[in-house]
Structure 1
């Protein structure tokens, strides 16, 4: 006798919930993530719906994962502990307005949506934006607005923001995004140093104080480079 679909779905949901708990206990807590609100969001958000087609054990692994699209657009998702620690470092409040750049299918924006007042999820790929909107509807995230457009341009029409999260890696200073921060605003990103190879970089927090931008390195992190934030090639003769 075949197993009812509802029973299979219930078992799958229970398995994913257990994997989320393991992710929080063995990845996030051991990486100095102590903020209760961040941990609760990671426990609550079903990461598997943002990475359809992948086995649950892979979805909750501690590594960068590729997001496939029918259009062939390349996007990846940062490791869970990197996302969580960047969010913790941003010190979100319940009144913050946040822009997530390179939002992909929406996982990082979904986490932030549990902590902030308003989130804008920006991606340059229309298919990814459509999938993100569907995912937000599934989890009841009514405070997240999906926008499709060039990543490096940000959303000046909705600025200023309390926080901008670049959901990937950059090689150049994100000048146009930094101008969209309000006084006291923060921006987080994985920055690839000039001499770095591959995905290696530094998780960095930028802050706007008295009109000036300062920054500090938080920890070593890996991330795939987002389009629009590439370093221009240097030519030598």
Structure 2
């Protein structure tokens, strides 16, 4: 397979049309080889516009969603980042290339171990993969300058705002199928603002807190 031609087509046909225009992010997609992070059985699908199954119900985001999330959080190299849901480790790798340090938490121990190996093989040493349930955040290393949730929440995850540093950003997909919005939350002067970026649908995080339901 001609990986470099496939990568070029991924960027030009999938990534750029999704308003990912930051040259640093676009260059990163060539530097960090996505095919090295997907399961071997699906390697030839690594640069296709689709979610890739990882096992136990987990799925890798589409490349365009990963790139857009990295662009939106605006990393400058000084940030401490929390990623909720490591999955294959590719999004953590992209974040790690642009941040000071990434703490990535995966609920599935087998996936966490695989991701550690792939990150090490890629030479990325500023990503710490920990095993646990971070659906409500991960206070162990808080506060964070950036939080990226790699699964959706049914309602605004207000509880994560407490773990954001002043000036911090949270990228989260909020809502329930078929209506979900990728949203960037920003914390300034103790208040949090929300900017809806685009609509998409991704699976919820495991053990995600559910809103109270009214019964009659």
Q: TM-score, normalised by structure 2?
A: 0.93
Report the CA distance between 1:154 and its aligned residue: 2.3
Determine the structure 2 residue equivalent to 1:29: 16
**Contact 2:135 / 2:205 at 8 angstroms: preserved in 1?**
no
Report the CA distance between 1:26 and its aligned residue: 1.2
Q: TM-score, normalised by structure 1?
A: 0.85
Structure ID, larger Rg: 1
**Whole-angstrom distance in 1 between the partners of 2:106 and 2:159:** 16
**Whole-angstrom distance in 2 between the partners of 1:173 and 1:203:** 11
Residue 104 (str. 1) matches residue 104 (str. 2) = no
Q: Secondary structure of 2:183's match?
A: strand
Deviations 1:63-93 (A, max 9, x none): 222212xxxx321111111111121111111
Determine the structure 1 residue equivalent to 2:191: 212
Residue 38 (str. 1) matches residue 21 (str. 2) = no
Number of residue pairs matched by the alignment: 216
Q: What aligned pairs does 1:126-141 form with structure 2 within 5 A after superposition?
A: 126-141=109-124
Which segments of 5 or more consecutive residues in structure 2 lack a partner in the other structure?
none
* Greater mean alpha carbon deviation, residues 213-222 or residues 57-66: 57-66
Determine the structure 2 residue equivalent to 1:142: 125
Q: What aligned pairs does 1:41-190 form with structure 2 within 5 A after superposition?
A: 41-68=28-55, 73-190=56-173
Alignment equivalent of 2:182, drawn from 203, 209, 225: 203
* Greater mean alpha carbon deviation, residues 47-56 or residues 73-82: 47-56
Which segments of 5 or more consecutive residues in structure 1 lack a partner in the other structure?
1-11
